[in-house]
Amino acid sequence: MLNPNLFNIPKIIIALDFCNKKSAMKIVNLLNPSIYYLKIGKEMFTVLGCQFIKELHQLGFNIFLDLKFHDIPNTVFNATKAAADLGIWMLSVHASGGKKMLVSAKKALKSFKTAPLLIAITALTSLKEEELKEIGIQMSLKEYILTLSKLSNDCGLDGIVCPGKEAKKIKSLFGDKCKIVTPGIRVAEDALYDQNNIITPKEAKKYKIDYIVIGRSITMSKDPIKKLELIIKSMQ
Ligand code: C5P
């Protein structure tokens, strides 16, 4: 199995979006925890809770807990603290929760020796330009992403989640300290599913993205390891 850490390419986070443990473990058991990160989102967390995170930690995996917190500052402060207590590696909040909420999340991590990376969601990669207008936002998707990236960066967050096509601009504005996490990764033969702002792994490398999140491209594949190798080779 190719080791992507040997090349200067984006690190790979596998999105475990399953409705039961058995299906998730089929993928987990194929992966080397020193190479791949795992992302637990709303579906898996709702089904399996903290216990599953503990089990994955015991197997040696670093976990991105992608619960996309979006609430009043006090609630986000307490939820962020509780998440960090689990010993996770990365955590997401919605940048659209506003400055006070973002600062509260950051503050909640102050007392941790090794705090998780705090990452803000700018726009969901499923969002279309016209859908922004429906929720009352009168700027382009690009402007919206840049506005929220600036806010997150000003609030001291460690990075942002954004569609791949915006990554280059964000890196040039905020430098390498701002980690970029990009979902919506697809290779030519993949189905789009509900994603709209997609890029290929090769483009992710070109745009200097730090972490790519890959879900269905791998998890729905008949041969996930072969598919991973193909993705890694395409980035070399
Ligand atoms: O299956 P697919 O590769 O499309 O999965 C993408 C993953 O990234 C999902 O788990 C989804 O929740 C997550 N995500 C996203 N767009 C964001 C943030 C997270 O698609 N802006």
39-62 pLDDT tens trace: 999 999 999 999 999 999 999 999
Rounded distance from Cα 105 to ligand 1 centre (Å): 21
Q: What is the pTM of this model?
A: 0.96
Which of 11, 21, 71, 81 is labelled catalytic? 71
* pLDDT on residue 151: 98
Average pLDDT for residues 125-132, to the nearest whole number? Answer: 92
Q: Which amino acid is at 81?
A: K
Rounded distance from Cα 183 to ligand 1 centre (Å): 5
> Active-site residue 154, yes or no?
no
Instruction: Go through 157-185 and write b for each residue having 16 or more CB atoms within 10 A of its CB, e for each that does not.
Output: bbbbbbbbbbbeebbeebeeebbbbbbbb
* pLDDT on residue 43: 97
How would residue 4 be classed by pLDDT, with cut points 50, 70 and 90? confident
* pLDDT on residue 89: 98
Give the residue from 18, 82, 31 showing the smallest Cα distance to 59. Answer: 31
How would residue 7 be classed by pLDDT, with cut points 50, 70 and 90? confident
> Active-site residue 190, yes or no?
no
* pLDDT on residue 5: 77
* pLDDT on residue 30: 97
pLDDT digits 0-9 by tens, 173-215:
999 999 999 999 999 889 999 989 999 999 999 999 999 999 9
Domain hosting 89: range is 4-235
The number of folded domains in the chain is 1
| CB of residue 201 inside a 6 A radius of ligand 1 | no
* pLDDT on residue 1: 67
Residue with tokens 């016209």, as numbered in its chain: 130
Pocket test for ligand 1, best of 38, 209, 213, 231 (most atoms within 8 A of CB): 213
Cα Rg of the chain (Å, integer): 17
pLDDT digits 0-9 by tens, 23-37:
999 999 999 999 999
Tell me the CATH number at 20. 3.20.20.70
pLDDT digits 0-9 by tens, 56-100:
999 999 999 999 999 999 999 999 999 999 999 999 999 999 999
Q: CA torsion sign, 21 to 26 to 32 to 37?
A: negative
Do residues 23 and 225 make contact, with C-beta atoms less than 8 angstroms apart? Answer: no
Characterize the bridge pairing of strands 117-121 and 11-16: unpaired
Do residues 212 and 201 make contact, with C-beta atoms less than 8 angstroms apart? Answer: yes
